[in-house]
A = this chain, B = another copy of it.
């Protein structure tokens, strides 16, 4: 592992520093070659670092700023008023080449917009996309994009998502010729809207890409594709629907309310025997697992879930470090020549 510096917007997310700071310490502990620059209010940050060992503190730099971008702000308003905010400053550090990637749990639209303006999309990519890894019933992982960056997508956008997703899967999951599928409302050729059908045509023509056809929502977790491509609207709805189903189920199994001892015993038995399934379910749950990335930019930008807990935000930091070390943006740029 090589030395690496990441820029963190520690003010983003539903809770802010009380989650992001302990997560930063945990990430530093797990990765001795990692340094972090924390952008945010030092009055909130410093008390949370008081008891940290000096071996971690020496790899932390605090960049004090009080301005933050609100979650409810429209993108254009957020961009106009972003100067000096923790999110923008973190991205600017990456822009200057002083950090190799950036992590934020803040406003997704603003993070996307600022990253596009400051870090620029890679040449050949019209629209960056939000990507994440889904767990599957088979134990493998599936790359899914776009998860909400682009509400409406042309056939060309979807085609570029497929290319980026394929390169991401090759490098991040170590796969050869990953199987690509388009999310649709049926598997027959005639299904879906025009963008999807045209994207299918483009993908079928490409021999460099392993396009396997349409996939419906019911097979997202079944490991039948390595890369699932969709527009950001449907992709976000599918992901959140999965998250909700997993969360509801876990709440049945964990339920903190008072309950008869037999039911508690049953839950214990269940978790014991279905440990694998249970852990896989947890990974769909955004509070437990984390890290969607903006793909198609010149540098690594990871968006943590707004409701991420400490472990989840730490995992987002580790994911950003891994992607920076794997040089995902550079691999995508090089890969674009092949298609």
Contacts and interface: CB of A to CB of B under 8 A. Distances in A.
Interface string A251-279: 11000000000110011011011100100
A129 to B, nearest CB: 14
Contact of A245 (B148, B188, B221, B230): B221
A240 to B, nearest CB: 3
Contact of A242 (B189, B232, B241): B241
Contacts of A117: none
Interface residues on A, range: 35 or more
A152 B197 CA distance: 14
A333 to B, nearest CB: 29
Given A263-B273, A273-B266, A248 B234 contact: no
Interface string A165-208: 00000000000000000010100111011000000000000000
Interface stretch (A17-25, A50-58, A119-127, A211-219): A211-219
Nearest to A240: B217
A147 B221 CA distance: 21
A8 interface: no
A30 interface: no
Interface in A102-158: 109, 137, 148, 151-152
A262 B185 CA distance: 40
A277 B252 contact: yes
A75 B188 CA distance: 12
B269 A237 contact: no
B236 A238 contact: no
Contacts of A246: 245
A41 interface: no
Contacts of A273: 262-263, 266-267
Given A74-B190, A183-B237, A192-B151, A252 B266 contact: no
A222 interface: yes
Contacts of A185: 148, 151, 232-233, 236-237, 240
A241 B266 contact: no
B270 A244 contact: no
5 contacts: A216-B244, A217-B237, A217-B242, A218-B241, A252-B277
Interface of A: 71-75, 109, 137, 148, 151-152, 183, 185, 188-190, 192-193, 216-222, 230, 232-234, 236-249, 251-252, 262-263, 266-267, 269-270, 272-274, 277
